[in-house]
Amino acid sequence: MKKPALVVTFAVLFGCVETISVPVASVRPDSGLVSASKAYISDKMRDPDSAKFRNIVSYRISNGDVIICGEVNGTNGFGDIQDFRIFI
């Protein structure tokens, strides 16, 4: 009895989701916006001073907003360095 319910759940969740395409253009990262993004992300981490950033890029979407993307890593609660993770 659980298998049909699971199939219906997947059909509802994945069959009804529509993909939205937004035109984007790569732009040169604004240093002020990048600094603000780094500060915001660092403040959310357990050890803000351990934050390391790489592969930072920015995109302008069709409504004019700029999106900053990249990777960040830092230390966990045990002091171990974590793998880089994507941020948007």
pLDDT tens for residues 8-55? Answer: 344 444 444 455 566 677 788 788 999 999 999 999 988 899 999 999
Domain-embedded: residue 64: yes
Question: How many helices (H) and strands (E) would you count in the chain?
Answer: 2, 4
pLDDT attached to residue 23: 67
What is the count of structural domains for the chain?
1
Domain-embedded: residue 47: yes
pTM of the model as a whole: 0.66
What torsion, rounded to 10 degrees, do the Cα atoms 41, 51, 86, 22 define?
A: 40
Which segment of 7-11, 53-57, 60-64 scores lowest on mean pLDDT? 7-11
Domain-embedded: residue 60: yes
Residues 38/66, Cβ–Cβ less than 8 Å: no
Q: Which domain holds residue 48?
A: 23-87
